[in-house]
Structure 1
Amino acid sequence: MKKALLILSILFISVSYGQEIKQVPQISVSGEGKVKVVPDQASITVTVETKGNNAKDVKKQNDQKIEAVLKFIKKMNLAPADYKTQRVSLNPQYDYEKKKHSYNATQTIEIVLKDLSKYDELMEGLVDEGINRIDTVVFESSKLAQYQSEARKLAMKEAKLKAEDYVSVLGQKVGRAMIISDNSQNYSPQPMYAAMKMEMSDTRVSRETMAVGEINITANVTVSFILE
């Protein structure tokens, strides 16, 4: 019995050693793909904030302003799916020095503007109708999925090119990919935070009030290739 166990142990060691000898040579490299895109739409978050001493009056005033804002948005011919109420609140506030309660009502609307040529007209009209807080303006691309696909392909091409550069001095060739890991982070465009310091003139003049620039859509991969 002991002899049989000894033979099995020797066979196991031999098999393990053989497997180690037959390891496939590989190279692991990373690649990044980046696509620069000019945004074609904006996600805008705005709020009507009303304060006062009577909860009912504060809520009523806030509702009236929001009603005017929504009517204006409809006049701008935005699709109903492109704007929605995001948040509604009515909160009591206590002034410890004056020992008095007051109330703060807010309603927040999120708008997706798909025609950036209407940006100035929209923002001025919102303020005129009662918006007194611009929370964020995020410039985006409506073709995000398409550009993400392009970035992934560029990342794979860079990874293969990098692997070929490394092994070119070794007299070897890059074979098929064994392992592909996607290291990309979720795309998150950077918001522009806007304080309510807007000067409105009675005379509407044509002017540029924003520079959308470009947004970077990136993909990152790690690829292990067989060496031939």
Structure 2
Amino acid sequence: MTTGIPTATAPYGTPDAPRVAVRGEARLEVDPDLARIGITVSARGTDRRAALDDLTRRNAAVLDLIKTYGDAVEKLETGSFSINPELARKGRGEHVRAYHGRVHVTAELADFTALGELTTRLSDLELTRVDGPWWKLRPTSPVYAQARTQAVHEAVARARAYAEALGTHLVALLELADDGSESSPMDMAVGYGGGPLMRSAVAAESAPALDLEPQRQTVYAHVNARFTMAPPQL
């Protein structure tokens, strides 16, 4: 008697339709698309207004310098700003000894030749610290799709090899699950592990541009696949 209720699919294979489950993996190493650097501009003075004016001037100098690189700079952002008093350790009451100001700026560049020159010039600026670079791929990089495709091909090849080992062949794909793909952490620094490339307290003589070698990025992709096979003759 027909009840109208669909029959649930068996969770495992049957003798007439055995299943094979495999995992496909891919690992690609490619050159990065972008490099990010962090710039910290500082100022210090006994007068709050003077410290703020110095910080404003130095920050403007940093932004103006970065903007001279035009299209080589793909992103320029101010992350945070602070100015805080330093209290004297001795004496009664709250006596302000000095004021400290900081501005944090980040920049992303696609031109790595310009990157080396820019980091050197930024480091020549007064009370300016440079951190990085951190290398990464663009979110739209075709490498991600390439890795996923390679993982699928490996899953099919692996399942086919299992079927051929039993003297049979694949019949149908039942499931293809994406385990996700990811790149190596973009906050992986070159040179000093993310520490400052250079810091300058006073302006220095013009230095040659840094020769920065881009760090290769590793992209992983994993897929789980299930197939049915023709019944093997065991």
TM-score by length of 1: 0.76
Distance 1:202 1:136 in 2: 22
1:150: which partner in 2? 146
Tell me if 1:189 matches 2:182: no
- RMSD of aligned Cα (Å): 3.5
Q: How many residues align?
A: 216
TM-aligned CA distance change 1:106 to 1:19, over 3 Å: closer
The alpha-carbon deviation at position 166 of structure 1 amounts to 2.3
The alpha-carbon deviation at position 124 of structure 1 amounts to 1.5
1:4: which partner in 2? none
How many percent identity over aligned positions?
A: 21
User: Does the 8 A contact of 2:132 with 2:197 survive in 1?
Assistant: no
User: Does the 8 A contact of 2:124 with 2:204 survive in 1?
Assistant: no
Please say which of residues 105-114 and 190-199 is displaced more in the overlay. Answer: 190-199
The amino acid across from 2:20 in the alignment is I
SS of 2:107's partner is strand
The alpha-carbon deviation at position 69 of structure 1 amounts to 0.7
Structure (1 or 2) with the greater helix fraction:
1
Distance 2:127 2:175 in 1: 52
The alpha-carbon deviation at position 149 of structure 1 amounts to 0.5
TM-score by length of 2: 0.74
Residue in structure 2 matching 1:215, options 209, 217, 221? 217
SS of 1:121's partner is helix
The alpha-carbon deviation at position 172 of structure 1 amounts to 2.4
User: Does the 8 A contact of 2:180 with 2:222 survive in 1?
Assistant: yes
The amino acid across from 2:78 in the alignment is T
Distance 1:143 1:71 in 2: 28
Please say which of residues 158-167 and 136-145 is displaced more in the overlay. Answer: 136-145
Alignment of 1:47-86 (within 5 A): 47-78=40-71, 82-86=75-79
The amino acid across from 1:45 in the alignment is G
User: Does the 8 A contact of 2:177 with 2:225 survive in 1?
Assistant: yes
2:36: which partner in 1? 43
TM-aligned CA distance change 1:52 to 1:181, over 3 Å: farther
TM-aligned CA distance change 1:113 to 1:75, over 3 Å: same
Distance 1:201 1:148 in 2: 43
TM-aligned CA distance change 1:161 to 1:22, over 3 Å: closer
The alpha-carbon deviation at position 186 of structure 1 amounts to 3.8
Distance 1:22 1:166 in 2: 15
User: Does the 8 A contact of 1:41 with 1:114 survive in 2?
Assistant: yes
Distance 1:222 1:19 in 2: 19
5+ residue gaps, structure 2: none
TM-aligned CA distance change 1:167 to 1:74, over 3 Å: same
TM-aligned CA distance change 1:194 to 1:146, over 3 Å: same
5+ residue gaps, structure 1: 1-7
1:88: which partner in 2? 81
1:178: which partner in 2? 174
Structure (1 or 2) with the greater strand fraction:
2
